[in-house]
Amino acid sequence: MIAAHEPFFRPIPKRWIPREMTTAPLLDPCEPASAVEQHYALLINPFYPKDANASFGKHVLTPTLALTSFAATTPQHWRVEYWDENLLDGRPPFRPMPQVVGITVHLTFALRAYELADWYRARGAKVIFGGLHVLSCPDECAPHADALALGDGVQLWPRILRDIEANRLQPRYVATYENDYRDDPSPRRSILQRRSFLTTTSLIATRGCHNRCGFCYLATDGLRMPYRMRHPLQVVDEFKADDQPYAVFIDNNLGSRPDYLHSLCAALRPLNKIWSAAVTIDVTDEPSLIRNMALAGCTGVFIGFESLSDNNLADSHKKTPKTSDYARRVRILHDYGIQVNGSFVLGFDHDRKDVFTRTAEWIEENRLECATFHILTPYPATPLFRQMEEQGRILHRDWSLYDTGHAVFQPKHMTPAELEQGYAWIYQRLFSHASIWRRRPEDLLAIPLYMAMSYLYKRSNRFWHLLIKHDLVNPVWKPLVEMTRMRHVHYRRKLASQQSAVKAPSQVVSAGV
């Protein structure tokens, strides 16, 4: 039993963090303009500072699909280049100057996006913004871009390029997410750097979620995202085409429609590959679905438990089983060899100062292999933001600190500084040698891979920037992934021949933000 006040005994020592992980590359203000190459589009994922409490590995687990999804709709006569500033290769290219620069904007890296946009526009490029922050704060974004894409880029990008060619670019383009998802082309993954990620196969099979939690970006005003699904065979084709052993589903909730997930699993099963996905814990309502997920290659799930307090969950309008049943449900997943990465939000109105130790104890007791923590963050234009604003609890609007690692509102039962201290403490506790060991799998044969993955993911922040800079992420991670896949294929054969669960196989880091 951990004493409830342990996180507050003494200040938590600040973690070392290399400069490249906190500071964006310099954009030289004196750089003269270079010639503009017509029909050349540069797509940028801007730099964001990393949180030293969490694993740096998460940033190179799998790429965002924000840019590759609509890159696929670029007309043939355009050249497209992709630049992710988080891969530590320096600032994005500018010689020749692209005719168009497309930038994805989230609130945490909005300022960097504005800096990039201002720099490129001053040198003759047309800048287009899209992404979540553009949807929630369009008026703030507008002065920095030639055009805003509000909503689905897959529909908007070809229209925008056509209008640029015809010299009739509009300031705003709007598209909903209500079209048939099956009509979307596959994301253009060929523009990604394969060595830079654990896997380049970020897959997405569905959009939306059956829930609408008040703190979730899905509850943003003006964002209508009904649950939409791609055909399972489209997903299978993308998985095969990218030729990686492991895929990460980046869907908000792959389990919103159990019937769909059953058919997706049936389609994935023959591939003999492994994957992980975000689902809600109610996916365990039907143990046969969990069995099918395991038979289809699911090695890990990312589950937003959010809180161990029913009152907090009710306040957020999350439809979820009672928290007293969470442990039983975690066991169902473990019984089928599926590791659990639990996501917990800290700072809800029913959280008191003991929330950190109680949560840590629960995670250790239930042997969650991985856990991700977020300080409750009211995203602009969500019901939670409005509520906090009405109550006068928003502390500031410095979006760069809305990264779920900082307290940006006044919590009910502790100070913002205590909330941040508790957050740092719980990460340090869960990344400690003792905690990693306590949560090891029951199957002895699974322990070596579990330990290797855990140490690489949770205790290698000193080395991540080197692996990233020297394009070693995939080469270093791949053997562990391949060993996991081989063990899993063996496990699946055994599982298929038996009625009930057999011993759990092994580990690969599961999806999660």
| Interface with ligand B12 (CB under 6 A) | 45, 48, 54, 58-59, 61, 64-66, 69-70, 102-104, 106-109, 128, 130-132, 149, 152-154, 156-157, 204, 216-217, 250, 252, 374, 379, 403-405, 513
Q: In the structure encoding, which two tokens stand for residue 150, read together?
A: 């509000």
User: By C-beta, is 244 or 252 nearer to ligand B12?
Assistant: 252
List contacts with ligand SF4 (CB under 6 A). 209, 211-213, 216, 218, 252-253, 280, 304, 318
Please, what is the minimum distance in Å from the beta carbon of residue 253 to ligand B12? 9
User: By C-beta, is 156 or 205 nearer to ligand B12?
Assistant: 156
Contact 120, 103 (CB under 8 A): no
Identify the bridge partners of residue 341 per DSSP, sorted by sequence position.
302, 370
User: By C-beta, is 171 or 448 nearer to ligand B12?
Assistant: 171
Nearest to 436 by CA among 465, 462, 456: 456
Nearest to 245 by CA among 472, 453, 512, 485: 485
Q: In the structure encoding, which two tokens stand for residue 231, read together?
A: 């055909």
Chosen from ligand B12, ligand SF4, none, partner binding at 83 (C-beta under 5 to 8 Å by type): none
Please, what is the minimum distance in Å from the beta carbon of residue 304 to ligand SF4? 5
Chosen from ligand B12, ligand SF4, none, partner binding at 333 (C-beta under 5 to 8 Å by type): none
> How far from the centroid of its chain's Cα atoms is residue 337's Cα?
23
Residue nearest ligand B12, CB atom distance: 130
Please, what is the minimum distance in Å from the beta carbon of residue 73 to ligand B12? 10
Chosen from ligand B12, ligand SF4, none, partner binding at 45 (C-beta under 5 to 8 Å by type): ligand B12
Instruction: State the DSSP code for 410.
Output: -
User: By C-beta, is 253 or 474 nearer to ligand SF4?
Assistant: 253
User: By C-beta, is 204 or 430 nearer to ligand B12?
Assistant: 204
User: By C-beta, is 302 or 491 nearer to ligand B12?
Assistant: 302
Chosen from ligand B12, ligand SF4, none, partner binding at 161 (C-beta under 5 to 8 Å by type): none
User: By C-beta, is 217 or 491 nearer to ligand B12?
Assistant: 217
Beta strands at 370-375 and 339-346: parallel, antiparallel or unpaired: parallel
CA distance 407 to 483: 40
Residue 32: how many CA atoms within 13 Å on its side-chain side?
2
Q: In the structure encoding, which two tokens stand for residue 99, read together?
A: 């005719």
Chosen from ligand SF4, ligand B12, none, partner binding at 149 (C-beta under 5 to 8 Å by type): ligand B12
197 vs 65, 80, 92, 244, 494, CA distance in Å? 13, 20, 18, 11, 31
Instruction: State the DSSP code for 350.
Output: T
Please, what is the minimum distance in Å from the beta carbon of residue 213 to ligand SF4? 3
Chosen from ligand B12, ligand SF4, none, partner binding at 152 (C-beta under 5 to 8 Å by type): ligand B12
User: By C-beta, is 323 or 372 nearer to ligand B12?
Assistant: 372
Sign of CA dihedral 329, 333, 339, 341: negative
Identify the bridge partners of residue 228 per DSSP, sorted by sequence position.
207
Chosen from ligand SF4, ligand B12, none, partner binding at 212 (C-beta under 5 to 8 Å by type): ligand SF4
Chosen from ligand B12, ligand SF4, none, partner binding at 267 (C-beta under 5 to 8 Å by type): none
Nearest to 505 by CA among 460, 453, 462: 453
Please, what is the minimum distance in Å from the beta carbon of residue 367 to ligand B12? 23
Backbone angles phi, psi at 426, to 5 degrees: -65, -35
Please, what is the minimum distance in Å from the beta carbon of residue 385 to ligand B12? 10
Chosen from ligand B12, ligand SF4, none, partner binding at 59 (C-beta under 5 to 8 Å by type): ligand B12
User: By C-beta, is 161 or 333 nearer to ligand B12?
Assistant: 161
Please, what is the minimum distance in Å from the beta carbon of residue 152 to ligand B12? 4
Sign of CA dihedral 416, 420, 426, 429: negative
Q: What is the torsion angle, in degrees rounded to the nearest 10, for the CA atoms of residue 28, residue 31, residue 34 and residue 37?
A: 10
CA distance 369 to 300: 9
Please, what is the minimum distance in Å from the beta carbon of residue 258 to ligand SF4? 15
CA distance 156 to 170: 12
Chosen from ligand SF4, ligand B12, none, partner binding at 280 (C-beta under 5 to 8 Å by type): ligand SF4
User: By C-beta, is 4 or 227 nearer to ligand B12?
Assistant: 227
DSSP string, 217-253: GGG-TT-----EE--HHHHHHHHHHHT-SEEEE--S-
Please, what is the minimum distance in Å from the beta carbon of residue 206 to ligand SF4? 11
User: By C-beta, is 168 or 322 nearer to ligand B12?
Assistant: 168
Contact 297, 244 (CB under 8 A): no
Please, what is the minimum distance in Å from the beta carbon of residue 393 to ligand SF4? 20
Chosen from ligand B12, ligand SF4, none, partner binding at 109 (C-beta under 5 to 8 Å by type): ligand B12
CA distance 393 to 411: 8
Please, what is the minimum distance in Å from the beta carbon of residue 157 to ligand B12? 5
CA distance 74 to 99: 14
106: left (phi over 0), alpha (psi -120 to 50) or beta: beta
